[in-house]
Amino acid sequence: MSQAPSAIPLAVAPAPSRAPARQSYEALRVFARNPSAIIGVLLLTVILAVTIFGPMLMQADPFEIASAPMEPPGGEMLLGTDYLGRDVLTGMVYGGRATLLVGVVAAVLSMAIGLTVGALAGYYGGWVDETLMRITEFFQVLPTLLFAMVLVTLFSPSLATIAVAIGVVSWTGTARLARGEFLRLKRREYVLAERVIGAGDARIIWRVILPNALAPLIVSATLAIGTAILFEAGLSFLGLGDPNIMSWGLMIGSNRPYILTAWWAVTLPGAAIFLTVLAVSLIGDGLNDALNPKSRGRS
């Protein structure tokens, strides 16, 4: 009879599952009322639409010589040509697809590595936590750009190797964030209830704790995309991009010696990178405010 009260919490343990639905609604309401976040969504939507559907409509080769070299914008070539005579507009439309693809894939890989390391470290603690955190600290003190350059050079420049290199060097922040969330949540009542009913570690980690730790991780994933885009642009600028696939970074890097005479060939793809990262950052800030309970309480 003395165990009857403990059976009641176990019976009603699923009740908090209705809370995420209410929290999601409140988060969406706060996000929709954030002007900066909406501007970011609209801006990113336009950029995605151009880079996804633009190549289907243009049906052009971004490496084709279209006109005289370094022709200024406003003529037959709307955005001018670069130092070889390639159309800048075509390069930007096609280059955006490669840049965004690398950014998204690298961010997903970074989140997957960081989330796995942080979740295991925070959940198990002890020697597992110590070992994984020492590995995290080792990667954290490495010069990330230099390490990425070494990886790309060793495995030859391509979109795949660039995405993997960026993901491998940029997961440490996510790992620490995930570890902190798992340390905070693993002793909550609903987690203890799952252990009592015999749930395995895999279910508790991925299906019980992780959904409740997603709020800060979603924000981190959003910002990781912007970081990965800048990383890709930096590698391409240094000549470590795939020379056979047009990207915004490749456009900037190949035209940088002519920036004084053909500024548009460098400035326009640079502006595209800036606007893309700005849009992602605005969305990330909006998600941070929307998923923060204190912000929802003020709204």
How far, rounded to the nearest angstrom, does the alpha carbon of residue 270 sit from its chain's CA centroid? Answer: 19
AA letter at 266: V
Class of residue 267 by CB neighbours under 10 A (exposed 0-12, middle 13-18, buried 19+): middle
How far CA 279 is from CA of 3, 40, 75, 101, 248, in Å, comes to 55, 4, 30, 16, 16
Q: Give the model's pLDDT for residue 284.
A: 86
> Which of 45-54, 58-67, 289-298 is the least confident region?
289-298
**pTM (2 decimals)?**
0.81
Domains and CATH numbers, the chain: 81-291 (1.10.3720.10)
Distance CA 164, CA 235 (A): 13
Tell me the average pLDDT of the chain: 83
Q: Give the model's pLDDT for residue 294.
A: 57
Mean pLDDT (whole number) for 69-89: 87
pLDDT per position as a tens digit, 151-185: 888 887 788 888 888 888 888 889 999 999 898 88
Distance CA 171, CA 174 (A): 5
Q: Are 104 and 225 in contact (CB under 8 A)?
A: yes
Q: Give the model's pLDDT for residue 38.
A: 92
Would you place residue 5 in the very low, low, confident or very high pLDDT band (cuts 50, 70, 90)? very low
